[in-house]
Amino acid sequence: MKIIGTGSYVPDLSIKNDDLSKIMDTSDEWISSRTGIKKRRISNGENTSDLASKAALQALKNAQIDAKDIDLIIVATTSPDYFVPSTACVVEEKIGAVNAISFDISAACSGFLYAINIAKNFIISNQCNNALIIGAEVLSKLVDWKDRSTCVLFGDGAGAVVVEDSKESGILDITIGSEGEKWKALKCKSCFVENPYVTNEKENEENLKIHMSGKEIFKFAVNTITNGIRNILKDTTYNIEDIKYIVPHQANLRIIEFAAKKLKIDPEKFYINLDQYGNTSGASIPIALDEMNRKGVLKKGDKIILVAFGGGLTWGCSLIEW
């Protein structure tokens, strides 16, 4: 299976750190020095399926494939438009992919890699020949805008790839995992249990917004990037010098610098665009991939590693030959 097209879409509204310091007690100095983030895109009303559909149409165009010829759509998102239907079904209708099987998956910031793994298994088992894989988030509707320790980190956006069955190399290896015992480190409750027989559940509950233990995620992220890269190379003939780029989940520059130090590699090997978009969760890796593809930095045969970590806690890592 290989990637044959990429696309991305971010909302027009760009909010700089200085803009945030006008509405809450924060500063460009704090955000830049702790995270590397300079600005992020924020939805001015578009929902997740809107962003996902626009990224998808670009990926289809780049892959030169008609929406009607897509067999499978997987949307990785933690911020769906609805509980029912899936965002993927809404995207199917919006782009006219009338022959696709469509569903969402929930694996937070690792969702895109989970979706690649699922699509690979669909293709290997001959259930489909191609797939449209989208990471899309409107996190601005889920962050607590009164919690400066989380809301400054996230942004909205979507990225997409089209993959198809291929004898050529492509996805050389992929591995995913979860550590459910740490689920409380990053959570966002969906709704309260309220029915004619339960009335008081809300009393001791947090609000329906994102809550995060930043330090716990930081540690998990550094270990995940380091172990993920070491382990995926272990069973191959490649070593780190053969890898042209590492495309990490774009959460925090300091996480990436710590991981680079532990791996004893040049931080320049990591492709970074979090300064522009903040943390777009499941969308961050496909947005970066599309940016790299459009800039022409990826050449046929280049080996790249994608590595993600996030709520769940979940992780994923993939070795790709472009």
Contact footprint for ligand UT7 (CB under 6 A): 26, 30-31, 34-35, 109, 148-149, 152, 212, 214-215, 217-218, 221, 251-252, 279, 310
DSSP element (H, E) containing 88: helix 87-95
Which is closer to ligand UT7, CB of 109 or CB of 305?
109
Which is closer to ligand UT7, CB of 152 or CB of 292?
152
Q: Shortest gap between Cβ of 144 and ligand UT7 (angstroms)?
A: 12
The verdict on whether 211 is a catalytic residue reads no
Q: Shortest gap between Cβ of 282 and ligand UT7 (angstroms)?
A: 9
Gap between the Cα atoms of 274 and 256, Å rounded = 11
Q: Shortest gap between Cβ of 2 and ligand UT7 (angstroms)?
A: 27
Q: How many other β-carbons are positioned within 10 Å of the β-carbon of residue 117?
A: 19
The verdict on whether 109 is a catalytic residue reads yes
Catalytic one among 109, 151, 188, 317? 109
Angle in degrees, CA 284, 289, 294, rounded to 5: 130
* Cβ burial 243-263 (10 Å sphere, 16+ → b, else e): bbbbbbbbbbbebbebbbeeb
Q: With contact defined as beta carbons under 8 Å apart, do 305 and 317 qualify?
A: yes
Catalytic one among 89, 130, 249, 293? 249
- Enter the DSSP assignment of 191: -
Q: With contact defined as beta carbons under 8 Å apart, do 246 and 215 qualify?
A: no
- CB-side neighbour CA atoms (13 Å) of 23: 11
Q: How many other β-carbons are positioned within 10 Å of the β-carbon of residue 311?
A: 24
Token readout for 320 is 């790709």
Position 225: which residue type? I
Which is closer to ligand UT7, CB of 23 or CB of 208?
23
Q: Shortest gap between Cβ of 261 and ligand UT7 (angstroms)?
A: 16
Q: Which residue's beta carbon is nearest to the bound ligand UT7?
A: 214
Q: With contact defined as beta carbons under 8 Å apart, do 12 and 46 qualify?
A: no
Catalytic one among 17, 117, 130, 279? 279
Q: Shortest gap between Cβ of 221 and ligand UT7 (angstroms)?
A: 6
Which is closer to ligand UT7, CB of 23 or CB of 124?
23
Position 98: which residue type? V
Which is closer to ligand UT7, CB of 94 or CB of 219?
219
Gap between the Cα atoms of 2 and 132, Å rounded = 12
Question: Catalytic site residues?
Answer: 109, 249, 279
